[in-house]
Each structure stands twice: as structure tokens, then as C-alpha cells.
Amino acid sequence: GKSTTLYATLSVVNSVGKNIITVEDPIEYRLDGLSQVQVNVRAGLTFANGLRSILRSDPDIIMIGEIRDAETARIAVESALTGHLVFSTIHTNDAAGAITRLGDMGIETFLTASSLTAVVAQRLARILCPHCKQAYEITREQLLTNIPDFPLCEGEEKLTLYRSKGCFRCSNTGYKGRVGVYELLLVNEEIRQLTLDHASGSQIKDAAIGAGMITLRQDGLRKVKEGITSVEEIMRVIV
């Protein structure tokens, strides 16, 4: 789902006169108005080399398919610091983990703090089949015993949730399609300072939650409450 999110973002920021260049492996979609470069390691064209090459073209916006190594991370950060808007992906468990991951890759904290604007973490959860999903009632006490942080309103003593069943329309899986579960961390002054202070991922996450961030788990449980997916599915995709 990361590539889909990146392409959707580029579609939003794409406009006449914007010079947008991507470095990808592989190029999954062709978008009008973009210059897209395919990584070819055998030919010596790595993410890092591709980035160096496209910077000579003075792009306004750069998309790096994935930050896989320290060299690519450093060039991406330096590009952001020199006025380019940079989008990329990195493998971590949550949004705060991206900040500490850059540190693990050797990026100095002052560079991360100065260049990073936001981090989106996401998971894909299966959507309950609308034709066969089964409703069931659960009391507030039962729900909070098993999921203490389930989003309940005051006075909400009984809730209708849904579980999977299976039918011919969903090939007896109980699910049909997938939905994104998101966590958006906006880098504010407190998070910049924590980054400079080499704070842990959990400390950064706590600060982001204090500033209003909805976690992956919270967003997933909201989708359970809305009947989009099941408790079991959210517990499966979000550790």
C-alpha cells in the first residue's frame, strides 16, 4: 500500500510547471507530467546514484521509492535541506520509528530534526464482506475487559460490531477488499527537540499522541466500530 499512497500524494501535488522526478524499483505506475527513473543495480544505477543524477535537473519534488541504505538516506535528507520536497518510504513499525530508523542509518539527529516534516505509518486491513458479515452485540464491560482502549462514548453501554462469516461473493473468506489504517505524525518543535536529544521511539510517539496524533491501533479500532472490519482483523495487522 505504500506505493499507492506515494502515487496518490504525487497526483495531488502535481501541477503545471512543477518539475517532479522519481527514482523507483520498480516503476509500478506511469503518471503524466512526471519524470520517472527505474533503478538498475546491475547497470550501476542504484537509488543513491539515481538521486545524484536527478538533482542535476533541479527538481521541485523528488520521490524515492524506498530508503534502503545510509547513502540514500543521507542524500534524501540533504535534498530536503536544500529546498526540495522529498517523499519516500522506510520500513518501521510505526511513525515514530521512522525517526529513530534514520538515526540507526547514521543520519545525525540535527539533520533529521531540520529536514523532516511528517511521517505516515500505514497498514492494510481486510474489509468485511458487506453481503455476509455478521452483526453481534457486546456490552461495554465485555468490550473494555478485552480491549481497554476501545473508543466508546459516554453512556454507550452496548455496541453492535461485526465479524466475518463467508459466502460465495467473497470466496468464503468473509472479507472483500482492503482499507488503509493510518497514523500521521506531524513534526512539531517538541518532536524536533526530542529528536535532537536522541529520544526513544516511544518517547517521540507519546509526544505525538499528546499533540493529537491518532495511532494505528486507534484508527483500526475506529474502523471496527464503524463496521468496516473486524476486531480479529485489526489485531492481526497491528501488533
pTM assigned to the model: 0.90
* Cβ-contact 152, 111 below 8 angstroms: no
Does some domain include residue 231? yes
Residue 109 domain flag: no
Query: Could you give the number of structural domains in the chain?
Result: 2
State whether 136 and 189 are in the same domain: yes
- Check residue 129 and report its DSSP letter: P
Res. 43 pLDDT band, cuts 50 70 90: confident
28 and 136 in a single domain? The answer is: no
User: Does a structural domain hold residue 163?
Assistant: yes
pLDDT category of residue 1 using cuts at 50, 70 and 90: confident
| CA-to-CA dists, residue 92 to 23, 60, 89, 159, angstroms | 21, 27, 9, 34
Instruction: Provide the pLDDT for residue 16.
Output: 79
CA–CA separation, 52 and 76 (whole Å): 10
In whole angstroms, give the CA distance from residue 50 to residue 46.
6
CA distance 99 to 201: 7
For residue 48, give Cα distances in angstroms to 11, 51, 148.
Answer: 24, 5, 45
Closest CA to 164 of 128, 124, 131: 128
The reported pLDDT for the residue numbered 38 is: 92
Mean pLDDT taken over the chain: 95
CA dihedral 95, 97, 100, 102 (to 10 degrees): -70
Residues 79 and 129 in one domain: no
At residue 187, the pLDDT reads: 98
CATH of the domain at 230: 3.40.50.300
Q: Which band of pLDDT confidence, cut at 50, 70 and 90, is reported for residue 42?
A: confident
β-partners of residue 136 are: 161
Residue 89 dihedral angles phi and psi, to the nearest 5°: -130, 155
21: nearest Cα among 84, 90, 83: 84
Whether 192 contacts 204, CB under 8 Å = no
Is 222 in the same domain as 181?
yes
pLDDT at 218 over 80: yes
pLDDT given for residue 17 in this prediction: 86
pLDDT in tens, 167-190: 999 999 999 999 999 999 999 999
Q: Which alpha helices (H) appear in 83-200, and where do they start and end?
A: 95-104, 109-115, 140-146, 189-196
Give the pLDDT band of residue 157 (cuts 50, 70, 90): very high
Q: Is residue 10 part of a domain?
A: yes
Does residue 138 sit in the same domain as residue 220? yes
Residue 47 lies in a domain: yes
Of 9-18, 24-33, 114-123, the range with the highest mean pLDDT is 114-123
Q: Is the pLDDT of residue 166 over 90?
A: yes
Q: Which domain holds residue 155?
A: 118-238
The confidence score (pLDDT) of residue 131 equals: 98
Of 47, 69, 89, the domain-final residue: 89
Is 80 found in the same domain as 25?
yes
Structure-block grid coordinates of residue 228: 468496516
Q: Report pLDDT digits (tens) over 71-122.
A: 999 999 999 999 999 999 999 999 999 999 999 999 999 999 999 999 999 9
112 part of a folded domain? no
pLDDT at 135: 98
Domain boundary among 89, 105, 131: 89
